[in-house]
Amino acid sequence: MKRKKKELTFEGIGVYPGIAIGTLSISTRSKVEIPKYQILKPYIGYELRRFDRALLASKKQIEEILSRIDPDLQKEVFSILEIQKMFLNDATLMSKIKNHIVEEQINAEWAVEKVVKEMEKFFEKINDPYIRERKEDLYFVANRLVKNLRGEREEDIGESGRDILAAHDLSPLEVVKLHKAGVKGLIVEIGGKNSHTSITIRTLELPAVVGVEGFLDHAEEGDEVIVDGIHGVVILNPTRHMVEKYAALREEYERRYRELRSYIDVPSVTKDGTKISLLANVDFVEEIPAVISHKAEGIGLFRTEFLFLNRDDPPPENEQFEIYKGVLEKMAPLPVIIRTFDLGADKKTPFTLYQEDNPALGLRGVRLALQYREIFKNQLKALYRAAEYGDLRIMFPMVSGVWEVRRVKKLIKEVHRELEEEGKSFASHVPIGAMIEVPSAAIIADMLAREVDFFSVGTNDLVQYTLAVDRTNEHVEYLFEPLHPAILRLLNQIAESARKEGIEVGICGEAAGDPVFTVVLLGLGYTSLSMIPHSILKVKKVVRELDSKEARELVQKLLLQDTAKKVENVLLDYIEKKLPFLKDLE
Ligand code: PEP
Ligand code: MG
């Protein structure tokens, strides 16, 4: 009889407040045990044939999966498999493995590992996130080979019935692929709550915990696991009692969420009648039905980067035009703010490749767009053409100064001229906005406000850059404090500058969707909040309990506190008295 494994609890950072219970699949780029032994000379031929058989089996498996995939519907999965196939068909790579077997008289698994290590060094020297993703594809291939050498059955995530995936690290794109493959929950050893990976996880509504250090040292394929994204806890090999407890908790959570549906048709106004617009953040076109079903009042942030990722060339103008037009038509007459591509940092493409040691402070967002003018102009052309089909507003990410906005405006004029010459019809008057997410932009918000029609505050990056806290690093997650006095002051200053200059201002960072911050943002004067569709109803419930004068008074008190902890204490005190139901919302 199989011995029952011991229940282990791990703490991490809850990313999306759901609960998943299921069997575990370990990311193929995590470590697999590699047996290591010498091969006697007479058996080398046998070892080489064993490797050839595993290679053949691996190729067959990839072909078989490829034949079952619709390349149009599952583009990302399809291209990963194509890359794996390419590695397996790389004769030089495969003969390197064989050379190790022959020359060092070692077993095939060990030889595979050696070559992966050599390749790792090669990839590390390149030091570029996009190329690094190819390294991950190599891990997939190596693991497949090792599994075949050991006669283990290869299982595909999502098809194996194993619905929770654990990995050391995941990129935003991998999250998308896993979601499409049917994964229901995620455990990641590293990462912070506000990384792009975590935002993608939330967008796709996947219960997940990140920053679960050391998890893979204890977990095995097929283990039973509970992912509690509400409390940031992972339970490995739970007892029956624990599974029952969590199943009940999940039901309760889902019941509360269903209850929130009663807020769907009520207006988002405070008790004293202040209107607060609740808009949606969107990363993929596929999310539009969720935006509509949650009755968002528009799209406050459409991140376009995902249209550019995982392809060899940027999407052509017409392809983008059709996508933007489709979004605007579906949302009409509601407003849609489309952000031009925020590539760079952790979102790299082969057509915007460059070397840099400090990507977060490097060529990212509008800086990158201004360097890759033709790609940027193509996107602007598509946007201005699409603007005829709905209420479009265009905004620019990572603005750090007035000069950048002026350069963008010059480029827009050029784009209009070219569109005219090309005889294409377009809307020339589209409001343009700057994202305020770099401290310099926040500090000169009054000056920037004279250059644009609206602001949208990206609290994720504003916190990262103001507090010098890498949003992707779980070790400094405790310092990622949107309630830090410095952040409150900046948010106050941005709102005031916008008000004085008479331009609209909203918030589209993750703080906008956290009901704990709603009273603070309202008190600071923000009346437009953009968040993942899932958060809209709970924020609306809070809005309807608030009084704007009271919120302003609270914020005046918060602005006097000298540490984030003190701000939090005053805020929690208020919440306990006025919004006691909040603790049940997550
Ligand atoms: C932000 O920085 O707050 C933001 C909304 O942009 P992103 O998360 O895409 O960097
Ligand atoms: Mg940002």
Which protein residue's CA is at the shortest distance from atom 8 of ligand 1? 460
> Is 287 within the bounds of a domain?
no
> Is 383 within the bounds of a domain?
yes
Q: Any catalytic annotation for residue 196?
A: yes
Whether residues 452 and 554 share a domain: the answer is yes
Whether residues 438 and 425 share a domain: the answer is no
Q: Any catalytic annotation for residue 179?
A: no
Integer Cα distance of 513 and 118 in angstroms: 45
Instruction: Please give the residue range of the domain that contains residue 144.
Output: 41-150
Kindly identify the ligand whose nearest atom is closest to the C-alpha of 283: 1
| Closest atom of ligand 1 relative to the 509 alpha carbon | 3
CA torsion through residues 179, 281, 337, 171, sign: negative
Picking from 395, 415, 430, the residue at the C-terminal end of a domain is 430
Nearest to 418 by CA among 356, 373, 448, 388: 373
- Domain of 511, CATH number, reads 3.20.20.60
**Dihedral-angle region of residue 205 (phi above 0 means left; psi in -120 to 50 means alpha; beta otherwise):** left
Question: Which parts of the chain have pLDDT scores under 70?
Answer: 1-3, 28-33, 68-70, 72-77, 127-133, 136, 152-162, 353, 355, 586
Whether residues 490 and 573 share a domain: the answer is yes
Kindly identify the ligand whose nearest atom is closest to the C-alpha of 346: 1
Whether residues 459 and 586 share a domain: the answer is yes
Which protein residue's CA is at the shortest distance from atom 10 of ligand 1? 461
Whether residues 466 and 441 share a domain: the answer is yes
Picking from 84, 118, 150, the residue at the C-terminal end of a domain is 150
The answer to whether 171 and 197 have CB atoms below 8 angstroms apart is: yes
The answer to whether 379 and 324 have CB atoms below 8 angstroms apart is: no
> Is 92 within the bounds of a domain?
yes
Whether residues 383 and 311 share a domain: the answer is yes
Whether residues 467 and 351 share a domain: the answer is no
So what's the pLDDT on residue 132?
63
Whether residues 185 and 120 share a domain: the answer is no
> pTM for the whole thing?
0.75
> Is 105 within the bounds of a domain?
yes
> Is 338 within the bounds of a domain?
yes
Whether residues 47 and 76 share a domain: the answer is yes
Phi, psi of 302 (to 5 degrees): -110, 110
Mutation probe of ligand 1 site: the residue of 282, 306, 437 with most atoms within 8 A of C-beta: 437
Nearest to 551 by CA among 179, 177, 270: 270
Distances (CA, A) of 466 to 177, 459, 463: 33, 10, 5
Give the burial class of 86: count Cβ atoms within 10 A of its Cβ; 0-12 exposed, 13-18 middle, 19 or more buried. middle
Angle at 447 between CA 443 and CA 450, to 5 degrees: 140
Residue 462 CA, ligand 1 centroid: distance in Å? 8
Give residue ranges with CB within 6 A of ligand 1: 199, 301, 303, 342, 437, 458-461, 508-509
> Is 1 within the bounds of a domain?
no
Q: How many CB atoms lie within 10 A of CB 135?
A: 16
Whether residues 46 and 21 share a domain: the answer is no
Residue 88 CA, ligand 1 centroid: distance in Å? 38
- Domain of 46, CATH number, reads 1.10.274.10
> Is 321 within the bounds of a domain?
yes
E strand segments, 158-314:
164-167, 185-188, 208-210, 224-228, 233-236, 277-282, 299-303
Residue 461 CA, ligand 2 centroid: distance in Å? 5
Kindly identify the ligand whose nearest atom is closest to the C-alpha of 341: 1
Residue 62 three-state SS: helix
- Number of domains present in the structure of the chain: 4
Whether residues 235 and 201 share a domain: the answer is yes
Return the bridge partners of 106, or none. Answer: 38
Whether residues 489 and 417 share a domain: the answer is no
> Is 293 within the bounds of a domain?
no
Picking from 105, 135, 150, the residue at the C-terminal end of a domain is 150
Mutation probe of ligand 1 site: the residue of 281, 364, 368, 460 with most atoms within 8 A of C-beta: 460
Residue 438 CA, ligand 2 centroid: distance in Å? 9
221-255 pLDDT, tens per residue? 889 999 999 999 999 999 999 999 999 999 998 88
Q: Which of 100, 179, 196, 294 is catalytic?
A: 196
